[in-house]
Every structure is written in C-alpha cells, then in structure tokens.
Amino acid sequence: MNNRLLKAALKDLPMGGLRYLERVGSTNDVALAWAADGAADFSLVVSDEQTAGRGRGGRRWYTPPGTALAFSLILRPRSVEHEKAALFSALGAVAVVEALGQRALQAEIKWPNDVLLRRRKVCGVLTETVWVGDQIDSLVIGVGVNVASSSVPPAEQLTFPATCLEVEAGQEVDRLSLLHDILFALSRWRPRLGTSAFQDAWERRLAFRGETVQVWAEGRPPCSGQIAGLGQDGSLLLRSSAQEILSFPFGEVHLRPVV
Ligand code: BTN
C-alpha cells in the first residue's frame, strides 16, 4: 500500500481529502484532529500500521504492518442526519458486510457493529464524534479489518473469538479493492440511513438471531434472552424467558452467545 496506489484505487469515489500514513498511532486520532481542523466531508485517513489502535471500551486494536485494513472516514453530518448519528457505526458495519458479500463471504453483524465470519470477529468499528457546543460538528468512523492471519491478536488477548479474511476466503485479499468497496457501499447506504431498507439490511445480517445471548449494558444488571431483532431506532430487542421484550439502546453494551 502506498499513497499513489491508494489514490488510484479510490479515484471514482467522492473523496473530500485523503491522507495515507505508513505508520501511525491511531488513524482515528489523526482523523479527529483533521476534522477539528476543518477536513471536508468524506475525507479519509488510511494507515498500513497502527501502534496505538483503539477499540471500543478503551480496548487496544492490533494493526501490525501490511496485514490489515485500518482507516478512519470523516463525515460532516448534514442537518437531517444529526438525529441519526447513533446509526453511523452500523452504517460502517453494513458497508463492510456488503463488501465482503461481493467476495462470497457471508458476514454477520454482532450488534451493534462487530462484523463476524463463522461467528468470529473479523472487523470492528469505532465511531467518535467532534462536538461544537451541543452540536455534532463531525463524525469519524474508524474501521479495522483483519486481512492476513498475522493481524489476528494472540488468543490470550482476545475477549471474543477472532479470524481474518484470508483464512476465511482461502485466498489473498486485496486491501485497496476492499477499501474501495466498503467506501462505495457506505456512500450508497448513507442517504438511506434510518430508512426501513437500511434497517432490513442490518437486521437480515444480525448475528445470533433467535439464539440466547447474555448482555452486559452499562448501568443495568447483566441479563440474557433471545435476540428478537432491532427496534426502529436500531436498539437491540431481546425476548426474556418471561416473554418480555427488553430494549437496549446504543451505548457500552457487550453481547455473547450462551453456549
Ligand atoms: C472495536 O471492535 O473495538 C472497534 C475497533 C476499531 C478499530 C479501528 S482501526 C482504524 C481506527 N483507528 C483506531 O484506532 N481504531 C479504529
């Protein structure tokens, strides 16, 4: 991967700006600083290696050189998108699932936005927001995809089983063409954020649907139930053993199948 190849790969997409860094702490940090400095909508930061990649819940995200796809996309939500801001992480996950589908890989989304292949995590999304007062100025959608097997962290560091694209596909995966297809899918779904078509695409790919899962949500006691689907606002709906429907809005939520 290099700047020239990246530019060429994305030439048909409406990029606001493009920054390629061979090595970086976290692409999200660079993108957040760039966003605060006025980056245009659909500006992208890509790196071949992250030395301090961040995941959700303050966890570390592993990106050794040449093995993974790590990028952060800056969006400047239009006024109609402000109330849908919580859905942008799911937008990232739906776009990744679609790009993997083009490679005959049937991915699923572990709510809200982990992408799984054969029930193992292959991609994570971390969306962060730049606020000006109480208004959203910009959003950074950070996406990390495990491509080669050396991008998968050692088992003892995992909180959920993980895999990578090349093991699942049984062949080499071109990172730039994958990046192109994810961004293309993202730009196609963005205008439909919050519509029933978007909701359906997300719900169709929901992992563990109908299965019993355990959920840990901030400020609530752990509970278990069957995944019943998604609420209108993208919240997770669980059916408890008492047949009660419990709703979990976005936030710091962890979910695991009960085996
Ligand atoms: C998670 O599953 O916990 C989210 C992982 C998000 C990782 C990506 S890699 C590109 C971007 N830069 C980061 O530091 N994090 C995100």
117-132 CB burial, b ≥16 within 10 A, e <16: beebbbbbbbbbebee
What does the alpha-carbon distance between residue 97 and residue 259 come to, in Å, rounded to a whole number? 25
Give residue 129 CA to ligand 1 midpoint distance, Å.
14
Residue list, ligand 1 pocket, CB within 6 Å: 26-28, 50, 53-56, 59, 61, 70-72, 114, 124-126, 142-144
Q: Kindly give the number of the ligand 1 atom that is closest to the alpha carbon of 29.
A: 14
Give residue 23 CA to ligand 1 midpoint distance, Å.
15
What does the alpha-carbon distance between residue 56 and residue 40 come to, in Å, rounded to a whole number? 25
- In this structure, what are the phi and psi dihedrals at residue 83, rounded to the nearest 5 degrees? -75, -10
pLDDT (0 to 100) of residue 213? 95
Examine residue 112 and say whether the peptide bond preceding it is cis (omega within 30 degrees of 0). Answer: yes
pLDDT (0 to 100) of residue 170? 96
3-204: CATH number: 3.30.930.10
Report pLDDT digits (tens) over 56-112.
988 999 999 999 999 999 999 998 898 888 899 999 999 999 999 999 999 999 998
Taking alpha carbons only, the member of 30, 72, 25, 67 closest to residue 48 is 67
* 137 pLDDT more than 80: yes
Question: Using CA positions, which residue lies closest to atom 16 of ligand 1?
Answer: 142
What does the alpha-carbon distance between residue 258 and residue 216 come to, in Å, rounded to a whole number? 13
Give residue 32 CA to ligand 1 midpoint distance, Å.
13
Q: What is the DSSP letter of 147?
A: -
Give residue 245 CA to ligand 1 midpoint distance, Å.
31
Cβ contacts of 232-237, under 8 Å, gap ≥ 24? 232/199, 233/86, 234/86, 234/87, 234/90, 234/112, 234/199, 234/202, 236/111, 236/112
What does the alpha-carbon distance between residue 243 and residue 259 come to, in Å, rounded to a whole number? 20
Q: Kindly give the number of the ligand 1 atom that is closest to the alpha carbon of 53.
A: 14
Among 19, 34, 143, 182, which is best to mutate for testing ligand 1, by the most ligand atoms less than 8 A from CB? 143
Q: Where are the alpha helices (DSSP H) in 102-133?
A: none
pTM as predicted: 0.95
Q: Which residue has the higher pLDDT, 134 or 36?
A: 36
pLDDT (0 to 100) of residue 104? 95
Give residue 242 CA to ligand 1 midpoint distance, Å.
37
Least confident of 43-52, 121-130, 168-177, 241-250: 241-250
| Cα radius of gyration (the chain) | 18
Domain 212-257 listed as CATH 2.30.30.100: yes
Q: What is the DSSP letter of 67?
A: S
Give residue 107 CA to ligand 1 midpoint distance, Å.
18
Report pLDDT digits (tens) over 1-17.
899 999 999 999 999 99
* 44 pLDDT more than 80: yes
Q: Where are the domains of the chain?
A: 3-204, 212-257
Query: What distance, in Å, lies between the first and last C-alpha atoms of the chain?
Result: 40
**Pairing, β 223-230 against β 236-239:** antiparallel
What does the alpha-carbon distance between residue 86 and residue 184 come to, in Å, rounded to a whole number? 21
